[in-house]
Amino acid sequence: TAARFSADDQQLIELLAAHAAIAIENARLFDLSRELNVLEERNRLARELHDSMNQTLFSLVLTADAAAAALASDPQRAASQIETVKELAKATMAELRSLVEDLRPPALRDDGLVTALRKHADVLRRAHRIRVDVGVEGERRLPLEREREVFRIVQEALSNAVRHADARRLELVLAFGGDALLVSVGDDGVGFDPAERALRSRRLGLTSMRERARALGGTLRVDSAPGAGTTVRLEVPVA
């Protein structure tokens, strides 16, 4: 109701404007981060399709050609080649199922993070015939967007272990504390050197995982060595 703005009024308005500008910039950066994550996910799937599916299908075609060539002259060898074709086809189907599950968004809103991860572990068991143990301490719900980002990080860690570690057993542990969620994904596979930049950028998508963790205000650490398995440790605030 004042006739004019006072110096205090002007200072208050400038302060509010500064906060609004920061909020707008944060929203822009958040949208940019999501776009980059989508691009990284698309590139990862393209690499997986090229590295695994393309090679498997190429081997399948070569084996089928060999079987056809041997069918008249060596039926026993042809039968053996056909069995190899069947095994390659089964492996291709399992790989495709795994990739489809990676693309399918989890029902986090209804199921929650823990249930969604248990279901994902079941899919990995069936598709890859690998042992996946899941342990949970102090289960509770987190904000939906936070659960979604944690799920994607864990999904990436599990997928890396399945595809690259040559592991017989995976272990996923989630510990819900008062202030933070601690997650570890371990395997008994071949391991690798985390400092090897070429391997990290080509196959593991560690940069994307660390960026997601950082966006949540958390940290991600990878402990591994050749022949010693790998453990991915994630810590994020619960709020």
pLDDT band at 79 (very low <50, low <70, confident <90, very high): confident
- Residue carrying the six token digits 């209804």: 110
Provide φ and ψ at 46, rounded to 5°.
-65, -40
Q: How far is CA 12 from CA 4, 17, 206, in A?
A: 14, 9, 44
120-142 per-position pLDDT tens digit: 898 888 878 889 999 999 999 99
Q: b/e for 159-188, b at 16 or more Cβ within 10 A? A: bbbbbbbebeebbbebebeeebbebbbbbb
Structure token pair of residue 101:
């599950």
50 has a pLDDT exceeding 70: no
User: How many Å apart are CA 8 and CA 57, to the nearest integer?
Assistant: 72
pTM equals 0.60
Under DSSP, the state recorded for 175 is E
Distance between first and last Cα of the chain: 40
Structure token pair of residue 88:
């390659």
132-177 per-position pLDDT tens digit: 999 999 999 999 889 989 998 998 899 888 888 888 999 999 999 9
